[in-house]
Amino acid sequence: MIATLGTTFLRRRFLAADVVRLLTLVSVPVATVGWGATSFAVMSLALFGVVLPRMLGLRPVFDVAVCVLVLVAGWSSALEWYTSVFLWDKLIHIVLTGLLAALLAVVAADLRLVPHAPDAGRVSVAVLVFCAGLAIGSVWEMGEWLGHEFVDSRIYVGYDDTIGDLAADGLGGLLVGFALPWLAKDREVVRPPRR
């Protein structure tokens, strides 16, 4: 798997998600200049989030969905939509975390830690992605708390928010988990040439 990441990323095929990747790259300096260091950190994380799907050779619809949602999530932080738009935070937690949990399941399957989604039962895959969603959500919530305590006290944290976000993360993982066997099919992985 590791050997194919670079060659798959560098394949010559242009994808619609590559436009979103370019927009994310441009967003890093724009968000930094306009909204400061916290936005730089968030957009840098978003940049990683849009590069990984291309490295994995994901199905184009999966690739575009992850990239668009990662970019929207990054700008939602910079523009403070999570605290100003009703239920926006929960919606992003459901959809984006579900997709990221599915992405994590693809990586785990490539590393042979779990069976590939098309080979495992649909319920087993959904439970796996549900757990991955909770894991991603837990790490994210710890990051929010650390950011609130040590970076910017305007980062919103609270018990009700954290529990609600984790519930949304699990729900997103479960829902996307049922779709993962379809999403994980037809990947375009490029093997490096043999020497």
* Token duo for residue 76: 């939602």
Distance of CA 3 to the CA centre of its chain: 22
pLDDT of the residue at 36:
93
pLDDT of the residue at 195:
67
Kindly tell me the sign of the dihedral angle through the C-alpha atoms of 148, 154, 155, 159.
positive
Q: Name the percent of the chain lying above pLDDT 70.
A: 97
* 122-181 pLDDT tens trace: 899 999 999 999 999 999 999 989 988 888 787 888 899 999 999 999 999 999 999 999
- In 36-175, DSSP assigns E strands to none
pLDDT of the residue at 189:
87
C-alpha angle 51/62/18, rounded to 5°?
40
pLDDT of the residue at 191:
81
Torsion angle in degrees (nearest 10) through CA of 20, 24, 27, 31 = 130
Q: Provide the mean pLDDT of the chain.
A: 91
pLDDT of the residue at 2:
66
In this structure, are residues 110 and 53 in contact, taking their beta carbons and an 8 Å threshold?
A: no
Question: pTM of the entire structure?
Answer: 0.89
